[in-house]
Amino acid sequence: MKFILDNILLVAAAVVSGAMLIWPLIARRFGDVTEVDTVGAVQLINRRDAVVLDVREQHEYAAGHIPGSKHIPLGALPNRLREVEKHKDRPVLVICRSGNRSTGACGLLKKHGFGEVRALKGGIQAWEQANLPVERK
């Protein structure tokens, strides 16, 4: 107990950083974001003509992305929603690196009236591990 009292700032920093690490897991589990695996993603793209929205940063996108995907970084998405609004009637598959940023993008899209929004579980990492096609620019 003395250690905690003597190092209250250190303990507070540890608690806050721990909470930040587990928050994406909690938000994903209790949020209303639907995730699909790579098989479900391929089916959405091929059978339902889903729009693939990549919300990673430019350098990540250039390193490898799903062919035909639309690139809008997550930070720019609120200001660039008009670019994807014409696709509200189609399923939207949101991609990021590992699956964390895409859940935030899905929430934003749902708030703006997009009906069928899905996040790729595991992100582009899962896509590449499944040996699915990737373009590099």
Q: How many Cβ atoms are within 10 Å of 85's Cβ, its own excluded?
A: 12
Question: What is residue 15's three-state secondary structure?
Answer: helix
Sheet harboring 70-71: ordered strands across?
A: 34-36, 117-120, 92-95, 51-54, 70-71
Closest CA to 28 of 106, 109, 111, 126: 106
Phi, then psi, of 54 in degrees rounded to 5: -100, 120
Active site residues: 96
On whether the CB atoms of residues 130 and 70 are closer than 8 A, the answer is no
